[in-house]
Amino acid sequence: MTTPRVLCRTPTPGKTGVTRIPEWKFDLVRAAILEDLKDGAVRFSELPDRIALRLTDEDRQKLGSLGWHVTTVKLEMETRGEIKRLKGQGPQLLALGSP
C-alpha cells in the first residue's frame, strides 16, 4: 500500500519542477498556514516559526524539515490561489487569496 501524495508545483513562470509529498504532511502544513493567515499578512521569513507554534511536538518531529515543507506547501497554495504574495518592495508578504 502506497502513501497518498500531493503534487506541489511552483507559481514561478518558467519553472516546471514538481515535488510529491505525503498527503498528511501537506494537509497538516496547509491547515496551519491557512489558520495563521486568518489574522492578516505575514512575512514569509516568519512563517516557519509561526507554523511551528501551531503544531504539536510529535507532528513537528514526524514532519522532518519544517522550513522545507512550509516552503513547498506555500508554493502549491500560491499556485492554487489559496494564498498570495502582496506586491511591494521589501520582505515577501503573504495573505489569504481571494475566495
Mean pLDDT of the residues in the chain: 94
Percent of the chain at pLDDT exceeding 90: 83
Q: How many CA atoms lie within 13 A of 20 on its CB side?
A: 4
Global confidence as pTM: 0.93
CATH architecture of 5-96: Orthogonal Bundle (1.10)
* Domains of the chain, residue spans: 5-96
Mean pLDDT of 41-59: 96
Query: Where does the chain show beta strands of DSSP type E?
Result: 5-8, 19-22, 42-43, 83-86, 93-96
Mean pLDDT of 36-46: 95
Euclidean distance between CA atoms 26 and 87, whole angstroms: 26
Q: How many CA atoms lie within 13 A of 60 on its CB side?
A: 12
pLDDT at 87 over 70: yes
